Amino acid sequence: MFFKALTQRLTRGFQALVVTSALLGSQASGAAEPLKIGYSDWPGWVAWQVAIEKDWFKQAGVAVKFEWFDYSASMEAFAAGKIDAVTVTNGDALVTGAGGAKSVMIMLTDYSNGNDMIVGRPGIKSLQDLKGKKVAVEAGLVEHLLLLNGLKKAGMKESDVTLVNAKTNEMPQVLASGEVAAVGAWQPIAGQAIKAVPGARPLLTSADEPGLIYDVLTVNPASLANRKADWQKVVAVWDKVVAYIEDPKTQPDAVKIMAARVGVPPATYTQFLKGTKLLSLAEGKKVMVKAEGFKSLYGSSQIADDFNVKNGVYKTPQKVDTYIDPSLTNAAAK
């Protein structure tokens, strides 16, 4: 399930699934009703399972009902007004908003820290070695953005390579065909590509550009306006989650909880954590400051917006500032 969710991150064309009734369900929520949050199997979101099983929301004095989905289904549920909030990438928050289901990012959970990568064939040792060669990515998805950013940092342009559009789940076969010099994919597909071509290696990963993909909790604006105090309590629980996962004494129990949620052995799940940098509220506070570039949620989201428009994910540029409210994170950060 974790793998399935990865294949759908930064969903292209999601706006077609959005319905205009997005806001109605949450507007109808009364104060006595639990806040409904949709989550899926990206490690930064599965982390909430720890708080659920430890009963930390009840201790915080807020009624919350987490609902488990496949990733795209969670966005559909949010768009349909069936849940008050959803865990998504910052880019997907813009995509759903462009389709009519506006949301407000109130906190960061993590950023991709190596699970996304550009893999080169044997003999290709750097991005510069790709000049004049073919590179396969799925146009409009996150590996496309990762490649463009990497080329720019390497002093190159998109036109220095020939892009080949291919499905991400086919990248192992594409790399093995020998028709391209490199492919873009996320784990575990990237690992499958490396195994399929002995000598293949990562040329660039999301760990080289922290903030290229931020993962967030984003809330229906009406729910946020009506129940801000309750959302404040939800945000405040997050630091306990991060501390429990990162403390060597409690991490085995945390991994056991999370691994059970996604149905894999704990040892396997530990590997997933390495590609995900969990952010405490204090770390998230530093990211939720207006600035350009990937160190800011504003800057990263603006880059995602520009990329989405350029590549036809949606047509109208979004007002990025209206998608971010740092006040709850700022108030809860220690």
pLDDT of residue 9: 55
Residues of the chain with pLDDT under 50: 1-8, 10-31
Rounded Cα distance between 66 and 35, Å, is: 8
pLDDT of residue 32: 62
| Element at 25 (helix H, strand E) | helix 24-27
Under 8 Å between Cβ of 35 and 62: yes
pTM of the predicted model, to two decimals? 0.83
pLDDT of residue 120: 98
Alpha-carbon distances, residue 238 vs 25, 144, 231, 279, 332 (angstroms): 25, 31, 11, 9, 9
pLDDT of residue 150: 95
